[in-house]
Structure formats: C-alpha cells, structure tokens
Amino acid sequence: MVIDEGLRQVLQRANRVVVLTGAGISAESGVPTFREAQDGLWDQYDPEDVATPEAFQRNPRRVWAWYAHRRQLAQEVEPNAGHWALVEWSRALSWLQVVTQNVDGLHQRAGSEHVIELHGNIHRDRVFDGPLAAEVDDAELPRCPETGAVLRPDVVWFGEQLPEGAMEQAVAAVRSADLMLSVGTSAVVQPAASLPLEALEREIPVVEINAEPTPLTPVASWHFLGSAGELVPTLVRSAASG
C-alpha cells in the first residue's frame, strides 16, 4: 500500500471522520455472508423463506431457528485488526462515526462508541408488528417481557425500510465530516451506497478499501484493493505519523 503525500496530508489533517463498513470487514473475522451461512440444513432455503416479514408470518419458528444459527456463527468470531484500528483512530480524533451495513456488532465489541447500524443488530430483538398466519402455533415463541408481544430479530429483512432515523443520522454525519472511508462494501446496496457520493458532492475526500473494484472505485479520491485488516491499520498509522 503506497500512501501518496496528498493522502498523507488529508489523513493527518482529518479531525471528523465517517467510516462506512460492509460485509468485507466482517468476513475477515470469519463472519459468513448471508449466503455463506446457508450451509448444511439451511442450503435448501431462499432468503424469502427466512428473511422477510412474510416468512416470519408463515413460519416464525423456522425464522427464529435460522437466526439462532446466524447468532451462534457471529458469537464465535472476534473483531479483527480493521475494527481495532478504527477504535484506536477514534481516540486521536474529535469524532469518528462508524456507519455499518453489518449486523454482527463487531464494531461495538471492539470498542467503537459511535455506530449507526443501518441494517440492525442480529443480537437484539424487537416486537413483531404484523399478524401471524392463522395456523401458526405461537406458543413458546420469544415474547416481550413487558407486553407479551411476539419478538423478532432486530434486523432489516428484505423489502423492509431501514430503522427510523438511521439514514438521516448517517447523512448528517457525512455532511459534517472532513474525511470519509468506505471499507469492505460493494457500493451497490442502497441507500448506503449513496453516502460516499454525498461526501464527494460536498468535496469531502473519500478513501475506498475493498477486496475488488466497485462502482465507487472510479470516482473515489483514493482507492486501495486489499484486506481491511491490513489496509485500515496502515491508514491509521499514517494519520498518526504527522
């Protein structure tokens, strides 16, 4: 990784940083993607069978079993050098905001204090606000201890809106930043993919780190192909070397 003098100066001057992260940074910890987690008994199911409100209405037990499987996979891994480097960098800045598409909670486990979770968190539950199918036996389903309402995983399923206010907070963070990183994200999933473009429109430098080129690559201020676990710590060291 070669950091030119222009980027070095940007890194060393930066004081308010937004970092958008995607599946790539979690994959380095061993967190499987949605498709990769569909192994063994689960490889026969499509996302519509386990990750939509309609799937939960039809068969909440199957959906809960799937997410118990994914929670176990997420609990068995640890944050990697990319996660730790962001925490280290945050201590040297006025402010570092993580905006993540991941649901595994690894940023928080590493110690990041300012995290916007665009797609929720697989380790949390929330009340299911729709009706279950008439034939569903809802006995022994997880329930809210206060209201008795049926609970569901607190993640964004296919076809659902993002958590209320999450995107607005992310956009506001980008607009107040002096540097943005896009790390381990395909730059195609909306609305998250619009955030680096928002930064560029406001002449805020954007650094992309990803294992392969993305639609963001041609327009990013700087882009690096490779491992987030290797490249993010390198950027942080460069930022601290001034």
156 SS3 class: coil
Q: Among 107, 119, 123, 223, which one carries the catalytic annotation?
A: 119
Give the whole-angstrom CA distance, residue 104 versus residue 184: 14
**3-state SS assignment for residue 63:** helix
Give the C-alpha separation, 88 to 203, whole Å: 26
3-state secondary structure string across 190-215: CCCCHHHHHHHHCCCCEEEEECCCCC
Residues sharing a CB contact under 8 Å with residue 231, sequence separation 6 or more, in sequence order: 1, 82, 209, 224
H-type alpha helices, the chain: 5-13, 23-27, 47-50, 53-58, 60-75, 81-90, 106-110, 166-175, 194-201, 228-240
119 is catalytic: yes
187: left (phi over 0), alpha (psi -120 to 50) or beta: left
Residues paired with 183 in a beta bridge: 21, 209
Residues noted as catalytic: 119
